[in-house]
C-alpha cells in the first residue's frame, strides 16, 4: 500500500465503472477514504469493499444537487472531511447539430455539465471551511479540441473545462485547487458502447491511428493522472486542462514519416 493520499477523503462520482472506479481503487491503495457516487452499486464496487474498509457507496443521480449535498454530509459525518472531489459521472452522445434531439442535448448537458457543477457546488462549502481541497473534473480531450459529430458531448465537456478554470480562479485564495483531466480514448464500458459497434470498426481503427502512441488508454492511466492532481504533489497546479490522450490532439498525422521509413 502506498500513502500519497493518507488521511484524505475522496468523493468520486461515476465511481461504479471505468475511470471513476479506477480512481476509487487507486486512491484507496494510496490510503484515501472513498465515498463513491453512482446510479447503482455493482460487482466492481463490492470488490473495492473487500480491499478497504474506508469506503462508502451512495446510490443516486448526479443531476440532483440534493443527493450530492447529502453525500457530502454523509462523507463528513463518516470520515470527517472532503479533501478531494473527482467528477467522473458522465454519458456519451453523438450527432451533428441538426440531428441531435432536444431531449438528448438536455440530458448530456444535465449529466456532464450540470452534474459537475452540482458536485462542485456541494463540496465547495466544506472545502472553504477546511481552506483546502483538490477538485479533479473529468472532462475530455474533446472538450479542448472539437471532433467530428460530437457537438453536444463536446460542448458539455468544453463547459466542464472552463468551469474548472473558473473554480480555480475563484477559490485558489482559499487553498482549493481545481483541474480538468481530459482523457483521450480509454477502454471502458462507455468506450465499448460507442466504438465496439460493428459499423464503427473503421472509425475505431482511424482513432487508434490518430492516437500517436498507437493504442487506446487504460482507466488506470487516467487514475494515475487524477491521483497526481488530487495529491499534494500537485500543490502548485491549478486551473489546468491536463490532456492525457496518447497524443490524439497533438496534431495531425498523414503518414509522411512512415513514407520516409520511420516505423
Ligand atoms: N472512456 C473514454 O474514452 C473517455 C474519454 C474522455 C472522457 N471520458 C469521460 O470520463 C468519464 C468516465 O467515463 P468512463 O469512460 O469511465 O464511462 P463509464 O460509462 O464506464 O462510467 C461512467 C459512470 O458514470 C455513471 N453515471 C452516468 N450518469 C450518471 C448520473 N446521472 N448520476 C450518477 N452516475 C452516473 C455511470 O453509471 C457509470 O458508472 C465520463 O465523464 C466520460 O465522459 C471518457
Reported as a single tens digit per residue, the pLDDT across 148-192 is: 999 999 999 999 999 999 999 999 999 999 999 999 999 999 999
Between the CA of 20 and the centroid of ligand 1 the distance, in Å, is 7
Which residue's C-alpha comes closest to atom 26 of ligand 1? Answer: 89
Give SS3 for 154: helix
Q: Any bridge partners for residue 101, and if so which?
A: none
* Residues near 154 by beta carbon (within 8 Å), at least 6 away in sequence: 140, 142, 143, 146, 147
**Pocket of ligand 1 contains residue 89 by CB under 6 Å:** yes
- Which three three-digit cell numbers place residue 77? 459525518
pTM for the structure as a whole = 0.98
**Pocket of ligand 1 contains residue 19 by CB under 6 Å:** yes
Pocket test for ligand 1, best of 14, 70, 111, 136 (most atoms within 8 A of CB): 14
**Helix (H) / strand (E) containing 177:** strand 176-183
Phi-psi region of 194 (alpha: psi -120 to 50; beta: other; left: phi over 0): alpha
Task: Quote the mean pLDDT of the chain.
Answer: 97
Nearest by Cα to 13 from 169, 226, 170, 167: 226
Domains and CATH numbers, the chain: 9-189+217-246 (3.40.50.720)
Judge whether residue 263 has pLDDT over 90: no
Which residue's C-alpha comes closest to atom 11 of ligand 1? Answer: 88
**Pocket of ligand 1 contains residue 18 by CB under 6 Å:** yes
The residues annotated with a catalytic role in the active site are: 153
CA distance 190 to 169: 31
* pLDDT single digits (tens) 114-149: 999 999 999 999 999 999 999 999 999 999 999 999
**Pocket of ligand 1 contains residue 90 by CB under 6 Å:** yes
Instruction: Answer positive or negative: Cα dihedral of 136, 140, 145, 146.
Output: negative
Which residue's C-alpha comes closest to atom 43 of ligand 1? Answer: 90
- Which three three-digit cell numbers place residue 89? 459521472
Least confident of 8-22, 26-40, 41-55: 41-55
- Which three three-digit cell numbers place residue 161? 473545462
CA distance 175 to 129: 11
Return the ∠ at Cα 147 (arms to 201 and 119), rounded to 5°: 105
Amino acid at each position: 500500500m502506498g500513502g500519497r493520499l493518507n488521511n484524505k477523503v475522496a468523493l468520486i462520482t461515476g465511481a461504479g465503472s471505468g475511470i471513476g472506479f479506477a480512481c476509487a481503487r487507486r486512491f484507496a491503495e494510496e490510503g484515501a477514504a472513498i465515498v463513491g457516487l453512482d446510479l447503482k452499486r455493482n460487482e466492481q464496487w463490492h470488490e473495492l469493499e473487500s480491499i478497504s474498509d474506508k469506503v462508502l457507496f451512495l446510490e443516486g443521480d448526479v443531476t440532483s444537487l440534493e443527493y450530492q449535498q447529502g453525500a457530502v454530509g454523509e462523507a463528513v459525518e463518516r470520515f470527517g472531511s472532503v479533501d478531494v472531489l473527482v467528477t467522473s459521472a458522465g454519458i456519451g452522445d453523438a450527432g451533428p447539430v441538426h440531428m441531435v434531439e432536444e431531449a438528448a442535448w438536455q440530458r448530456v448537458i444535465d449529466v456532464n455539465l450540470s452534474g459537475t457543477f452540482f458536485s462542485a457546488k456541494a463540496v465547495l462549502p466544506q472545502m472553504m471551511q477546511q481552506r483546502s481541497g483538490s477538485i479533479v473534473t473529468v472532462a475530455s480531450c474533446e472538450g479542448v479540441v472539437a471532433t467530428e459529430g460530437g457537438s453536444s458531448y463536446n460542448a458539455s465537456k468544453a463547459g466542464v473545462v472552463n468551469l474548472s478554470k473558473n473554480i480555480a480562479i475563484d477559490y485558489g485564495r482559499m487553498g482549493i485547487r481545481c483541474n480538468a483531466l481530459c482523457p483521450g480514448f480509454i477502454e471502458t464500458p462507455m468506450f465499448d458502447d460507442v466504438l465496439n459497434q460493428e459499423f464503427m470498426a473503421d472509425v475505431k481503427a482511424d482513432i487508434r491511428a490518430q492516437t500517436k502512441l498507437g493504442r487506446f488508454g487504460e482507466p488506470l492511466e487516467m487514475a494515475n493522472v487524477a491521483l497526481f492532481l488530487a495529491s499534494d504533489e500537485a500543490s502548485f497546479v491549478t486551473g489546468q486542462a491536463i490532456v492525457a490522450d496518447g497524443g490524439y490532439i497533438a496534431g495531425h498525422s498523414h503518414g509522411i514519416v512512415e513514407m520516409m521509413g520511420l516505423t
